[in-house]
Amino acid sequence: MKEVFIDISRCLGCKSCELACAVAHSESQSLFGSLFESIPPRKRIYVHAGDCFSVPLNCRHCEEAGCVAVCPTGAMFKEEQTGVVLHDCARCLGCGFCEMACPFGVITRAPGSKIVAKCDRCPEREVPACVEACPTRALLFITSQEAQQVKRQHISTQFFLPRPPVTSA
Amino acid sequence: MGEKSVDRASLKMLKKASDEGIGTAWDRLEKQEPQCGFGLLGICCRNCNMGPCRIDPFEEEPGKGVCGATADIIAARNLLRMIAAGAAAHSDHGRDVVTTLYAAAQGEVQGYQIKDEAKLHALAAEFGVVAEGRSKEEIARDLAREAMEEFGMVKERLQFLNRAPEKRRAVWEKLGIAPRGIDREIVEALHRTHMGVDNDYTNITLHGGRTGLSDGWGGSMFATEFSDILFGTPRPVRGKSNLGVLKEDQVNIVVHGHEPILSEIIVLAARDEELLAVAREKGARGINVCGMCCTGNELLMRHGVPIAGNFLQQELALVTGAVEAMVVDVQCVMPALAQVAKCYHTKIISTSPKAKFPGVEHVSFEEHSALEIAKRIVRMAVENYPSRKQELVQIPDEEMEYMSGFSVEAILQALGGTLNPLLDAVKAGRIKGIAAIVGCNNPKTTQDRGHLTLTRELIKNDCLVVQTGCAAIACAKAGLLLPEAAAEAGPGLRAVCEALQVPPVLHMGSCVDISRILVAASAVANALGVDISDLPAVGAAPEWMSEKAVSIGTYVVGSGVLTVLGTVPPVLGGKNLVELLTKGARDVLGAAFAVEEDPSKAAALILEHIAAKRQALGLEP
């Protein structure tokens, strides 16, 4: 199953993923159109400055999802087939427990509301909008196996065998 | 991405490029997508090194730059910088023509002469240069000096502003946006947009208006008028357009860029008997000089030189495999040409010390030895003819005749020496209004579709269309610049065109020649005793892409004419700025911007506007 992987070494902090995420969750589905919507669309990915890197953070769709566990109404749930953690606004109380449970701070409220929003991994799209928008391929939509294989491949090119010292005859 | 082009020659060459593995602007755009949203909305700022900063357009953080600049401030500053760059490009072109006239008057140059003495005298009178009992060279020298002063800060107002109706000048004075000196406004624009200077988006935008006006009523107008003195004021002339003008059995030289200074002399050099003999020796039947973009427009207006295409066809001309040399000067020349040329035998030759390209041969041009340099360039092309790779040659057969050369003087002549027939036609409703359709191509929108759809819709509804630049080339290729195209016009316009034997779409020149349209609009307004903003007139740039187009749009609005843009300018992130540009401007300038990507809807919007303006003038809508 594909997930959104982050290659932090490639993130330039441009926030293109943030914009694309908001537009993907707008009525008009267009950058220009979404500017004129009465309720501005919300992003669900956040680029933060680390010590020496920029880090795009979004929902990791955790296996043991704390947000799902603490939700009293079942508004936050894990879709069996895809493993994606989804949120049903209609059942959301706005209690904020999921926000507290999320270790990454990527479940957030709309201004003036306690109803939360989070990454739904763009169910209508083949590739999530954030990944598509990333100009440096810091965001990748690949399987865990692929992600690890790429890293193994990369690290194996770093190895070299020490040569025996050249001895003069 | 939608359809790439409606031009069949372009589509054929795009197919050939794709078969040969050559990437063009369309492919490179695809690789750029999705483009940066902050850039598209105009809300990223790189003006100081506390940044770069960008503003979240959806009311989240960050809402301000490090200095505290809001989205409106950032978008307005970016817009002003675009206007300044566009005005600089046109005006620096104007400066080159002024200095060429000065050098020609001093007798220091080869190949240039004062061709239009009537215009020289008219301008001398306008600028208060004594003409009586003096040679044309003396007059030209003093006139050029006067023009040089217009670029600086000696004068308080640009002289050409006096060509505008009194009411329009009063509007400019009231708003404090009457331009003082051409270079001065551009420099001040850069000053104002420096960190911590002008931070009031309205004040910034007003200076944008002044900077734009210094282009339209300054730099561009000098480029036009002084080119007319040197190379002749255009008169109706016929020629051919589109890639089919390239010849299989001739040395093809494409002159591309914007200024007429070098290309005029290239045309001359290509007629040189010695070079023609060398061409024959190399197996070619002749030397075929063709234009591209506005250098092409300058030549076709005055000589009916064939025009190979508009902006998005520069790479495609090379893909024909039949171009020996593409000679470029300044503006709108893609650096990609060097890479495309490598796939063929074509030599790209840059000529302006201001515009060099990696991988391109440079032959520095200067007026003093103009003819020698031009001959050297033509010789390079001729000697390259035998290197043509015959197996790669494929010239599309699309070729269309055009009629161009409609300077204001030529239009007046066609009307019988007075504006009255035009005014009568407008009053009687045979001509509902006048639309200026100008501007570039942009791979973000189907090549030529915006120009053609809008033009056809408007003439069908009895709007006379005047054009310049790449828009005019699009219509040339589609046959709309022929008197026969009147058949596509509504009954009123058709009758007028047939009576005068003119096309329903008048080609008025290169992009600096939009100054001709300003002069024409002023003449019509003065004849009716109204402001330009009262006229049933509209400007449109359906496929614009360059900063020059931003400057043009600004001075057209500043001159009182609604301007409809077909591609979205990078300002939408500043919501109050957008309000100012699309609505607020109307209250103070009598005109504003509108954006409409669909050319049919743009036509509807324009017709509605024209009807309203007619009604306000007491005419039948």
Residue B566: inside a domain, yes or no? yes
Asked if B305 and B241 count as a contact pair (C-beta separation under 8 A), the reply is no
Give the model's pLDDT for residue B270: 97
Question: B583-607: buried (b, 16+ CB within 10 Å) or exposed (e) per residue?
Answer: ebbbebbbbbbbbbeebeebbebbb
Based on the domain organization, do B304 and B413 belong to the same domain?
A: no
Cβ–Cβ under 8 Å, residues B54 and B40 = no
Per-residue pLDDT for B583 more than 80?
yes
- The string of DSSP letters for B337-383 reads HHHHHHTSSPEEEE--TT---TT-EE----GGGHHHHHHHHHHHHHH
A17: closest CA of chain B, how far (Å): 10
Query: Would you say residue B500 has pLDDT above 70?
Result: yes
> In this structure, are B160 and B203 located in the same domain?
yes
> Do B40 and B82 share a domain, yes or no?
no
Whether B135 maps to a domain, the answer reads yes
Nearest to B553 by CA among B591, B527, B590, B524: B591
Would residue B63 count as lying in a domain? no
A114 and A130 share one domain: no
The phi and psi torsions of B344 (rounded to 5 degrees) equal -130, -165
pLDDT tens digit sequence for B162-183: 999 999 999 999 999 999 999 9
Taking the C-alpha atoms of residue A108 and residue A122, their distance in angstroms, rounded to an integer, is: 17
Q: Average pLDDT, stretch B326-331?
A: 97
For the segment A98-107, what is each residue's pLDDT rounded down to a tens digit? Answer: 999 999 999 9
Counting residues of chain B whose pLDDT is more than 90, the rounded percentage is: 96
Residue of B nearest to A14 (CA): B36
Query: Are residues A93 and A106 located together in one domain of the fold?
Result: yes
Contacts of A40 in chain B (CB under 8 A): 57-60
Give the count of beta carbons closer than 10 Å to the beta carbon of residue A81: 6
Whether A12 and A53 map to the same domain: the answer is yes
Among chain B residues, CA nearest to A133: B34
Domain CATH number, residue A5? 3.30.70.20
Same-domain status, B127 and B90: yes
**Pairing mode of beta strands B400-404, B237-241:** antiparallel
Taking only the tens place, the pLDDT of each residue in B437-454 is 999 999 999 999 999 999
The DSSP secondary structure of B135-201, one letter per residue, reads -HHHHHHHHHHHHHHHHTTS-SS-GGGGGS-HHHHHHHHHHT-----HHHHHHHHHHHTSTTS---H
What's the length of chain A? 169
Residue B69 pLDDT class (50, 70, 90 cuts): very high
The pLDDT mean for chain B works out to 97
Per DSSP bridges, beta strands A2-6 and A139-143 are: antiparallel
Residues with Cβ within 8 Å of B151's Cβ and at least 6 positions away in sequence, in order, are B91, B95, B98, B181, B182, B183, B219
Predicted confidence band of residue B48 (pLDDT cuts 50, 70, 90): very high
Within a domain: residue A20? yes
Test the A interface: residue of B58, B61, B66, B577 with most A CBs within 10 Å: B58
Q: How confident is the model at residue B60 (pLDDT cuts 50, 70, 90)?
A: confident
Indicate whether A74 and A105 sit together in one domain.
yes
CATH code at B322?
A: 3.40.50.2030
Tell me: do B421 and B329 sit in the same domain.
Answer: no
User: Do A139 and A111 lie in a common domain?
Assistant: no
**Is B467 inside a domain boundary?**
yes
Phi (first) and psi of residue B572, to 5 degrees: -60, -20
**Domain housing B453:** 407-616
Residue that terminates a domain, selected from A73, A91, A118: A118
Instruction: HSE, CB side, 13 Å, CA atoms: give it for residue A165.
Output: 3
| ipTM attached to this prediction | 0.77
DSSP string, B76-107: HHHHHHHHHHHHHHHHHHHHHHHHHHHHHHTT
Question: What is the number of structural domains in chain A?
Answer: 2
Q: Which of residues 399-418 of B touch A (CB under 8 A)?
A: none
pLDDT band at B1 (very low <50, low <70, confident <90, very high): low
Whether residue B299 is found in the same domain as residue B326: yes
Q: How many CB atoms lie within 10 A of CB B472?
A: 37
- Chain segment B116-145, per-residue pLDDT in tens: 999 999 999 999 999 999 999 999 999 999
**Closest approach of B46 to chain A, Cα-based (Å):** 13
Please indicate, yes or no, if residue B473 is contained in any of the structural domains: yes
- Give how far A6 is from chain B: nearest CA, Å: 19
pLDDT (0 to 100) of residue A168: 66
Hey, are the CB atoms on B573 and A35 less than 8 Å from each other? yes
Q: Could you say which of B37, B59, B572 has the minimum Cβ distance to residue A40?
A: B59
Segment B380-393 mean pLDDT: 97
Whether B572 and A14 lie within 8 Å, measured CB to CB: no
Residue A139 and residue A89 share a domain = no
Together in a domain, A64 and A90: yes
Please work out, in degrees rounded to the nearest 5, the angle formed at the alpha carbon of residue B586 by the alpha carbons of B582 and B587: 130
* DSSP letters for B213-249: HHIIIIIHHHHHHHHHHHH-----EEEEESGGGS-TT
Alpha carbon distances (Å) from B398 to B157, B242, B246, B362: 48, 6, 10, 32
Classify residue B331 by its DSSP letter: S
**Residue A151 above 90 pLDDT?**
no
Residue of A nearest to B62 (CA): A15
| pLDDT score at A110 | 79
- With bands split at pLDDT 50, 70 and 90, how would you rate the model's confidence at A50? confident
A105 lies in the same domain as A73: yes
- Across the interface, whether the CB atoms of B572 and A35 are under 8 A apart is answered yes
Question: Do A114 and A128 share a domain, yes or no?
Answer: no
Q: Are residues B151 and B17 in the same domain?
A: no
Q: Answer whether residue B514 shows pLDDT above 80.
A: yes
Do both B213 and B313 map to the same domain? no
Portion of chain B with pLDDT greater than 70, in percent: 100
- Do B99 and B217 have their domain in common? yes
Provide, as residue numbers in chain B, all residues whose Cβ is less than 8 Å from the Cβ of A43: 58, 60
> Which of A15, A44, A54, A125 is the best residue to mutate to test the B interface, defined by the most B CB atoms within 10 Å of its own CB?
A15
Q: Is residue A95 included in any domain, yes or no?
A: yes
Asked if B36 and A32 come within 8 Å (Cβ–Cβ), the reply is: no
Residue B570 is given by DSSP the state: T
A19/B575 touch (CB, cutoff 8 Å), yes or no: no
Return the bridge partners of B538, or none: B435, B562
Give the range of the structural domain holding residue A36, as residue numbers without chain letter: 1-58+123-155
Please state which of the ranges A29-43, B178-192, B235-249, B540-554 shows the lowest mean pLDDT. Answer: A29-43
Task: Provide the b/e sequence for A17-38 (b: ≥16 CB within 10 Å).
Answer: bbbbbbbbbbeeeebeebbeee
Please name every residue paired with B402 in a beta bridge, in sequence order, or none if there are none. Answer: B239
CA angle B177, B180, B184 (to 5 degrees): 105
Say if A161 falls within a structural domain: no
- Flag if A42 and B58 touch (Cβ within 8 Å): yes
Q: What is the pLDDT of residues B262-303, one digit of tens each?
A: 999 999 999 999 999 999 999 999 999 999 999 999 999 999
Give the pLDDT confidence score for residue B110 in this predicted structure.
Answer: 81
* Tokens 């187009």 belong to residue: B549
Query: Is pLDDT of B229 > 70?
Result: yes
With beta carbons less than 8 A apart as the criterion, state whether B551 and B215 touch.
Answer: yes
Q: Confidence class of residue B404 from pLDDT cuts 50, 70 and 90?
A: very high
Pairing assessment for the beta strands A46-49 and A54-57 based on DSSP bridges: antiparallel
Do both B435 and B380 map to the same domain?
Answer: no
Q: Which residues of A touch B38 (CB under 8 A)?
A: 14-16, 19
Residues B12 and B97 in one domain: no
In B20-60, DSSP assigns E strands to 44-45, 53-54
Nearest to B352 by CA among B330, B371, B336: B330
Position A165 scores a pLDDT of 76
Cis-peptide, bond into residue B569, ω within 30° of zero: no
Of B37, B56, B573, nearest to A16 by CB-CB distance is B37
The domain total for chain B is: 4
Same domain, B424 and B473: yes
Please state the rounded mean pLDDT for residues A39-64. Answer: 91
Residue A169 scores a pLDDT above 60: no
| Model pLDDT for residues B529-560, shown as the tens digit of each residue | 999 999 999 999 999 999 999 999 999 999 99
Q: Is residue B98 domain-resident? A: yes
